[in-house]
Amino acid sequence: MVFFNRLINKIIRYKLTQLFIKILRKINYYIYTQIEYFYKVIQKQLTMKKFLTYSIIAVIVAFTAYFVFIYFVNYSEGYRAGQLVKISKRGVMFKTWEGTLSQGVSEEQQFRFSVESGDKEVVNQLKELQGQRVKLTYIERFGTFAWLGDTKYYVKEVKAVQADELIEQSAEE
């Protein structure tokens, strides 16, 4: 009888051990699948963070490239001569120097231009020469920003000229 009791105890212990091992394996599998799921979620979040980071960097680089292109690349350079009609500081948020040069009688022959705020010497010359005949050296940019001026023409140099000098210059060219 003792033998059977020992045998039954061994069988029960063996079965319990096998059952316990199965339970541990299932728990281990569950934990493994949960860890795998969280790993995939974290990977997705990391790829989303990378995507957002790269997108923000791309937008910043594109805006910087656009700003640098607009500010530093000149579309054309040239000269205009005529009577300086107006020079004024305009704007609500950004005050910029704007001017008008009359090249004839009609409204169509007026040249509107801006002066960058850093060109104090040009602004002072324009103030002194208002109403007189002048020759402007300007650059034209592809576009403008509100804090640079209303037009895409920026005066870089001003010279006072007489009417006969304009006729001589046009005859030479």
Q: What is the pLDDT of residue 7?
A: 64
CATH code at 75-172: 2.40.50.140
> Where are the chain's structural domains?
1-72, 75-172
pLDDT exceeds cutoff 70 at 143: yes
Q: What is the pLDDT of residue 165?
A: 56
pLDDT exceeds cutoff 90 at 161: no
Q: What is the pLDDT of residue 63?
A: 93
Using one digit for the tens of pLDDT, what is the confidence trace for 48-99?
788 888 889 999 999 999 988 888 888 889 998 888 888 888 888 888 889 9
By CB atoms closer than 10 A (0-12, 13-18, 19+), residue 79 is exposed
CA torsion 74→75→77→83, rounded to 10°? Answer: -110
Q: What is the pLDDT of residue 2?
A: 65
Q: What is the pLDDT of residue 30?
A: 80
pLDDT exceeds cutoff 60 at 168: no
Using one digit for the tens of pLDDT, what is the confidence trace for 10-49?
776 777 677 777 877 787 778 778 878 877 877 777 777 8
Q: Which two tokens stand for residue 94?
A: 């950004």
Q: What is the pLDDT of residue 27?
A: 78
Residue 169's pLDDT band (cuts 50, 70, 90): low
Nearest to residue 89, comparing CAs of 135, 127, 133?
Answer: 127
Q: What is the DSSP letter of 109?
A: G
Pairing outcome for strands 110-115 and 96-102: antiparallel
More confident residue, 123 or 171: 123
More confident residue, 17 or 110: 110
